[in-house]
Structure 1
Amino acid sequence: MGYKKLDVVCPCCETKLTVDQKTGEVIWEAKKEKPAASLSDMMKSLDSQRKEQENIFKQRSASEKDRNRLLQDKFREAQKNVDKNSNLPLRDIDFD
């Protein structure tokens, strides 16, 4: 018996795989080369990424400022609602 192999092409990425029929293991993988993008396409992509990152930064900055304000409001409300009663709850150690 000889060495049996099976050549398969992935329908998604068009990678050529050489598979051992007996074990099912991939022996060799040859990825399809992607065509090189033009310089203008790369510049447009970088510009769009930069704008997206700036928008995300602005959104997170605004939400952080709003979060700080909300936490301050919650803290003030909690201070108002503190029980002003001087009777402290009894602890287990107080019973000894």
Structure 2
Amino acid sequence: MAKLLELSCPCCEAKLKVDIVTESVITWEEKKKAPPIEDFAKAVQNLKGEAAKREEAFQKSFEANKNQSSVLNRKFDELLKQAQADPDKNKPKKPFDFD
């Protein structure tokens, strides 16, 4: 009497029945996939909405990059003031100081 082991493929999620004695696949069944597009009108609306989302994300990124140089300059100026006010505060250690 053959003993069958039921497994699920981790890659494609197919259901397999394997004979333990002969170590061979007896039956297999593919996972049922949903149709790619059920309603074309709904799919078109989603695509139009995606274009608006992409444009909005691009505009946000553009504005952030446009102001980035002034933000970096202000941060640098502030850190330079801190370093000039207390030059010994956060000096990096030399490699020989770790010994």
Q: TM-score, normalised by structure 1?
A: 0.52
Matches within 5 A, 1:5-44: 5-6=5-6, 17-20=15-18, 22=20, 28-35=28-35, 36-44=37-45
- Residue segments in structure 1 that go unaligned for 5+ positions in a row: 9-14, 84-96
The RMSD of aligned alpha carbons is 3.1
Instruction: Give the letter aligned to residue 57 of structure 1.
Output: F
What displacement does 1:20 show?
3.0
What displacement does 1:5 show?
3.7
Query: After superposition, what is the alpha-carbon deviation per residue over 1:47-82, rounded to whole angstroms, capped at 9, x for unaligned?
Result: 121111111111111111121211233445567788
Whether the 8 Å contact between 1:18 and 1:29 is mirrored in structure 2 is yes
- Residue segments in structure 2 that go unaligned for 5+ positions in a row: 85-99
Runs (4+) off by over 4 Å: 75-83
Whether the 8 Å contact between 2:14 and 2:29 is mirrored in structure 1 is yes
Matches within 5 A, 1:11-90: 17-20=15-18, 22=20, 28-35=28-35, 36-76=37-77
Q: TM-score, normalised by structure 2?
A: 0.51
Count residues with an aligned counterpart: 73
